[in-house]
Structure 1
Amino acid sequence: MAGGIRVSGVLSRGGIVLSASLLLVACEEKNTYVPPPAPTVTAATVLQQPITRFLELTGNTAPINSVDLEARVQGFLTNINYKDGAFASKGSVLFVIEQDQYKAQVDQAKAQLAANQAAQVQAEAEYNRQAQLAKQDFASQATLDQARAKRDSAVAEVANAEASLQLAQINLGYTQIAAPFDGAVTAHLQDVGALVGYSGPTKLATIVQINPIWVWFTLSEQEVLRIKEALAKQGRSITSLTRDVPDIPIEIGLQTETGYPHGGKIDYIAPQVDPNLGTLTVRGIFQNDDFALLPGLFARVRVPLGKPADTVLVPDFAINSNQLGTYVLTVGADNVVSQTQVTLGQLQANGLRAIESGLKPTDRVIINGIQRAVPGSKVQVEDGKIVGVAPPKLDEGDKPLPKPAGVAPADAPSKAAPSVAPKN
C-alpha cells in the first residue's frame, strides 16, 4: 500500500510540472491586433449629359381681357340673356334696358331732321331765285345776303339734326349690352326690373377672356443679372429680349401638377427694373383651349437659360450637407474616401441633381454604403451605375443623413429597380 501511494504521488507531481511548463510557453507568445476589413461601398462615375438650365420662379395667371359690363343709360332692366358663368360669343346681347323712351327719341330726331331738310330745300331755292334776280338788277344786294344767310342756317340746322339723330341712335344702342369679345360672364349683379344708370354707370357683370391666358411674374435684380450674363455668353444683350420675346419659351405648372405641363411664350418684358422693388415684370401667354388654367391661380414658372450644355449629374440622395455647405463622398484611385464640396444646380425629373461646380466627369461618387464611408479612410469599392430612379434601400443599420437646405427629398425606398446597378 505504501508503494501505491508513492507512485500516485509521483504522477501527481509530474502533472503539475507539465501544466506549469505549458503555461510558461503560452505566456511567451505576443498578442497581435487583426484590423477589421475595410467597409464595402458602391461607387459610380458621375453622369455627364446635355442639360438645359432653367430659371424657376413663381407667378399668377391673369385673363388676357377682363371688362365690366355697365349700364350707360338710365332705365329699367328688362332682359338678361345669359346663364351666370356661361360662355358668350363676341357681339351677343347679354342685357337689355327698356327701349321705348330711346326709340321715341330716335323717331323724334328723325322727324326734326326731315323738317330741317325741307327748310334747307326751300332756303336753297329762295337763294337761287334772289341770286338770279340780282344778276338782272331786280333784287338788291341786301335781299341776296338775307337769302344766303337763311340757306346757310338751314344747312347748319340739318347738320345739327343729323347729330341729334346719331346721339339718339347711340343711346338706343346703349340699351343693349353686348359681349365685347369671346369669354365667360360672371353672375349678374342686377335683377330684371331694377333701375340702372340713374346716377352714373351701373355695373351689371364682368366678362373674362381666358383663352389665351396670361401669366405674370417678376425677376429679382440678381436673376436679371444672371440672365444678362447668360445672354452675354450668347453674344446678346438683355435689351434684345424686347425684340426677341416671341422666341423665348416658358413653361408653367400648377400646385397639384407634376412638372411643367403647360407651354407658352413670353410676350412682354418691362423696359426697366422697378427701383422701389428691385424687380423686372415679365408676362407669358399660353393657349388655353381646354380651360385648364383659370385666372388668379398660383403657378410655378420655368424659363430656359440658353441652350443645353454638358452638366455633371449625381443622384440627389448622395448629397449631404455640413457647415461648409453641400458635399458628396468620392473615392480616388487608391480607394480612399474624400469629402468633396459641390455647388448644386437644379433637380431633374429623373431624381438626378445637376452639379454646377466641384466635380469632374471622371470622379467616382459613393452611392451606396454612404454611412460606412469615413473621409480619409480606405474602402472596398464595388462598381455601380447611375440610372436616375429611386434611391437604393439602406443597408441594415444605416440611417439617412439630413438633407441640405434646398435639396428635394428622395422618394421612399420601394421594391422598384434600385438606382445602382452593380457590375457582375
Structure 2
Amino acid sequence: MTQGCDPSHRQGACARRLGGAAVIALALAGCNEPNSFAAPPPAKVTVATPLQSPVTLYAEFTGKTAPSQEVNLEARVQGYLTLIGYRDGEAVRKDRVLFEIEKNQYRDQVALQQAQLAIAQAKAANAQTEFDRQADLGQKQVSSQRSVDDARAALDAAKGQVAADEASLSLANLSLGYTTLRAPFDGVVTRHLVDTGSLVGSSGPTKLATILQVDPLHVYFNMSEQQQIAMRDALAAQGKTLRDVRESRVEPPVEIGLPGEVAYKYAGKIDYIAPQLDGATGTLQMRASLPNKDVELVPGQFVRVRLPIGKIENALLVDDTAVQANQTGSYVMVVGADNVVEQRAVTTGPVEGQLRVITKGLSAGDKVVIGALQRAVAGKSVTPVAGTMAALAQPSPASTPASDAKTP
C-alpha cells in the first residue's frame, strides 16, 4: 500500500539534497585550484680559497734532556769530612771549594817527605864530592880504578834516592790536594750525601755529591730510518752530507718545545749523530745542544723536538676544521660549478697554527667550505658566502735559525 507524501516531509528532504550538492560543488572547486608549494632555497655555506705561503716541513720526535757534563764528586783519600762549602742545589763556579777532608796527617806526610828528600840530596852532594876526588886521584895513578868505580856507584845510588824521594813528595802533595774537592766546571751541585764529621774513603772512593752542567743542555732523541733518509735528502739540497755533520761541525738547527705548549720556544743545534743504528729499535740516536741560561729546562725532562727536513715554497693551507676524514682518507667539501658541492679527497701535511697544509688534491682557486659544514652535502646546490681562512700563525722565537743562537 502506498503512503501519501507529506508536504513538510518533502520540503526537508529537498533541503538536505541541496546542502549535499553544495558541499560536493565546493570540493570540486578546491581540486581545480593550482598548487602553491615552493621548494626551500639552497643552504648557505661559508667558503674561502686556500692561503698560499712558504711552509717548512719538520720531522717531530720525543726527546729527553740531559746535562752537558756530569761528574760524581768522590773522596779519594781517607779521613773525616771537615767542610761542606755549598748549599744543596746551589749553582757554583769552577774551582769553588765544595768539600774538605782533614788535612793534618797529609800535611805531616808532605813535611816528612820533604825532610827525607833533603837528606837524600845531602847524601847525593857528598857522593858527588867523593866521586870527584876519587876520579882526580885515579887520573894521578894514586887511587885504584876500583875506588873510582865504587865512588861512581855510590853517586848513582844517591841520585836514585833523590829521585825516589822527589816522587814520594809529589805523591804526598797529591794526597794533600785530594783533601780539597773543587768544582771542575760551572754547574749545579746536588744535595750532599755525607755529613760533616763522617769518615770517608776508608774502603775506597766515597761519593759525596754530583755536579751537573745545565747550560748548555743536551737533548737526546731517536730518528727512524725513514726520517734519516729525509734528513739526508734535506742536507743534500744544501750541498751537505751526514759526514759533514759528523766531521766538519755542520750543526743543523733544531727546535725544542714542552709537552704542554704549542710553540717551540727553544732553539739549538745538532752536535752529535750516532755512527750506527740501534739494532733493537732500528733508530739512530741524535743529540742537540741548546743554551739554558735561565735554567728553564732541567735534566731528565721529556720535550718535543722538531727538525726541519724540507720546505714548500707555495703551500696551500686551509682551516684545519674544514678537513674531515672517513674510511678512505681525508677530504674537504668544495663548491664547484653551478654552486654544487663536491667531496674532494686530499693529502694533508703538517698543522700550522689553525691551518692545515694540503699537499695534494686542491688548487689555489678552489672554494673550500669552511663554515656550516653540516649543510654541505655532496651533489647538492648551495649558496656560497665569502669568508676568510684563519690567519697564518706567526713563527715562534725558536724558528730563528739555530746557527744564530748563542751558546756559552
Within 5 Å, give how 1:234-313 maps onto structure 2.
234-243=238-247, 246-307=250-311, 309-313=313-317
2:231 paired residue number: 227
Q: Distance in 2 between matches of 1:62 and 1:299?
A: 11
Residue 259 (structure 1) shift? 0.9
**Structure 2, unaligned runs of 5 or more:** 1-6, 394-408
Q: Distance in 2 between matches of 1:11 and 1:183?
A: 116
Residue 24 (structure 1) shift? 3.3
Deviation string 1:193-240 (CA, Å, 9 cap, x unpaired) is 111101000001111111111111111122112223334444543433
Secondary structure in 2 matching 1:123? helix
Residue 387 (structure 1) shift? 2.9
1:322 paired residue number: 326
**Inter-CA distance 290–318: structure 2 relative to 1 (3 Å threshold):** same
2:356 paired residue number: 353
Output the TM-score relative to the length of structure 2: 0.88
1:115 paired residue number: 119
Residue 296 (structure 1) shift? 0.7
Contact 1:245 1:265 in 2 (8 A): no
Deviation string 1:88-147 (CA, Å, 9 cap, x unpaired) is 211111111111111111001000110110111111111111111111111111111111
**Inter-CA distance 234–103: structure 2 relative to 1 (3 Å threshold):** closer
Contact 2:131 2:152 in 1 (8 A): yes
1:395 paired residue number: none
Secondary structure in 2 matching 1:306? strand
2:166 paired residue number: 162
Secondary structure in 2 matching 1:159? helix
Residue 10 (structure 1) shift? 8.8
Structure showing greater relative contact order (alpha-carbon pairs closer than 8 Å, 6 or more residues apart): 2
Contact 1:85 1:185 in 2 (8 A): yes
Residue 4 (structure 1) shift? 12
Q: Distance in 2 between matches of 1:251 and 1:103?
A: 53
**Inter-CA distance 75–216: structure 2 relative to 1 (3 Å threshold):** same
Structure 1: which amino acid aligns with 2:391?
A: G
Q: Distance in 2 between matches of 1:366 and 1:9?
A: 70
Residue 51 (structure 1) shift? 1.0
Contact 1:315 1:353 in 2 (8 A): yes
Q: Distance in 1 between matches of 2:219 and 2:304?
A: 10
**Structure 1, unaligned runs of 5 or more:** 391-424
Deviation string 1:250-289 (CA, Å, 9 cap, x unpaired) is 1111234341111111111112222222111111111111
Q: Distance in 2 between matches of 1:233 and 1:358?
A: 26
Q: Distance in 2 between matches of 1:235 and 1:111?
A: 68
Contact 2:253 2:307 in 1 (8 A): yes
Secondary structure in 2 matching 1:334? helix
Q: Distance in 2 between matches of 1:128 and 1:62?
A: 66
When structure 1 is superposed on structure 2, of 340-349 and 87-96 the one drifting more is 340-349
Deviation string 1:129-169 (CA, Å, 9 cap, x unpaired) is 11111111111111111111111111111111100000000
RMSD of aligned Cα (Å): 2.6
Contact 1:96 1:176 in 2 (8 A): yes
Within 5 Å, give how 1:384-399 maps onto structure 2.
384-388=387-391
Residue 383 (structure 1) shift? 1.6
When structure 1 is superposed on structure 2, of 4-13 and 295-304 the one drifting more is 4-13
Work out the percentage of aligned pairs sharing the same amino acid. Answer: 48
Output the TM-score relative to the length of structure 1: 0.85
Structure 2: which amino acid aligns with 1:276?
A: A
When structure 1 is superposed on structure 2, of 230-239 and 322-331 the one drifting more is 230-239
Structure 2: which amino acid aligns with 1:359?
A: L
User: How many pairs were matched up?
Assistant: 388
Contact 2:89 2:190 in 1 (8 A): yes
Structure 2: which amino acid aligns with 1:172?
A: L
Residue 21 (structure 1) shift? 4.5
Contact 2:54 2:311 in 1 (8 A): no
